């Protein structure tokens, strides 16, 4: 592992692997269920070569240039489509769009372009489909895909943004969809 400080040469450290510090997959998964997250549908591809997936792991990366990070399993059918087209769209879902989250999660065996049924879509600057009436839409060009373990960390440069200001977000926490009921008021 190389640690780099600005203007300095890499410093190498010897890291010792501790097998007794291995975390069980089930424990890690249960721990991650404690992270409440906005539900997004990530769309990839164009025309009949489209797919997508539901994600709660979308994060802003930078303001200059505007960019986001999304994690995608490389075994997913969306990975190959993303590689072919080089763009993706983050559609942050509103509280009334749970059925879209279920479609893109593949509930009922729904795959590929069939995931787009039961919703209205429009093509944005990159050619990727954007959900009409999503809470917010970020149309992204793939800047880089960093392959780590089973996933690719997608870095997307945002090319267009749309907002729906009158709706609340769809949230996911402890294995279930949630919504905000009331803000916490400080004393």
Report the alpha-carbon distance of residue 91 to residue 83 in Å, rounded: 19
Distance CA 35, CA 30 (A): 10
149-176 confidence digits (pLDDT tens): 999 999 999 999 999 988 899 999 988 9
Give the per-residue pLDDT at 21: 73
On whether residue 89 sits in a domain, the answer given is yes
Q: Does residue 2 lie within any of the structural domains?
A: no
Q: Report whether pLDDT(8) > 50.
A: no
Mean pLDDT of 106-113: 93
**Count of domains forming the chain:** 1
Nearest Cα residue to 133 out of 87, 108, 109, 167: 167
Residue 50 domain-assigned (yes or no): yes
Residue 40's nearest CA partner among 113, 174, 131, 127 is 131
pLDDT in tens, 120-156: 999 999 999 999 999 999 999 999 999 999 999 999 9
Q: What per-residue confidence (pLDDT) applies to 2?
A: 42
Let me know if residue 51 belongs to a domain.
yes
Structural domain containing residue 100: 36-58+77-139+161-173
Q: Tell me, yes or no, whether 111 lies in a domain.
A: yes
In a domain, 165, yes or no: yes
pLDDT, position 61: 97
Average pLDDT of the segment spanning 4-22? 51
pTM of structure: 0.83
Tens-digit pLDDT profile for residues 63-98 = 999 999 999 999 999 999 999 999 999 999 999 999
Decide: 121 and 127 in contact? Cβ < 8 Å: no
Residue 97 domain-assigned (yes or no): yes
Higher pLDDT, 183 or 78: 78
**Residue 129 is part of a domain; what is its CATH number?**
2.30.110.10
pLDDT for 19 beyond 70:
no
């Amino acid at each position: 592992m190389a640690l780099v400080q600005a203007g300095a040469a890499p410093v190498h450290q010897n890291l010792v692997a501790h097998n007794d510090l291995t975390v069980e997959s089930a424990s890690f998964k249960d721990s991650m269920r404690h992270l409440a997250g906005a539900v997004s549908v990530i769309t990839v591809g164009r025309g009949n070569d489209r797919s997508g997936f539901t994600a709660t792991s979308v994060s802003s990366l930078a303001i200059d240039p505007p960019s986001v990070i999304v994690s995608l399993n490389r075994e997913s059918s969306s990975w190959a489509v993303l590689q072919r087209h080089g763009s993706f769209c983050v559609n942050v879902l509103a509280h009334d769009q749970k059925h879209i989250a279920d479609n893109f999660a593949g509930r009922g065996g729904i795959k590929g372009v069939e995931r787009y049924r039961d919703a209205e879509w429009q093509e944005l600057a990159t050619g990727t489909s954007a959900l009409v009436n999503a809470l917010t839409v970020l149309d992204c060009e793939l800047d880089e895909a960093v392959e780590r373990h089973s996933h690719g960390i997608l870095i997307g440069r945002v090319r267009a943004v749309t907002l729906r200001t009158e709706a609340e977000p769809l949230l996911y926490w402890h294995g279930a969809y949630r919504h905000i009921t009331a803000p916490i008021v400080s004393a």
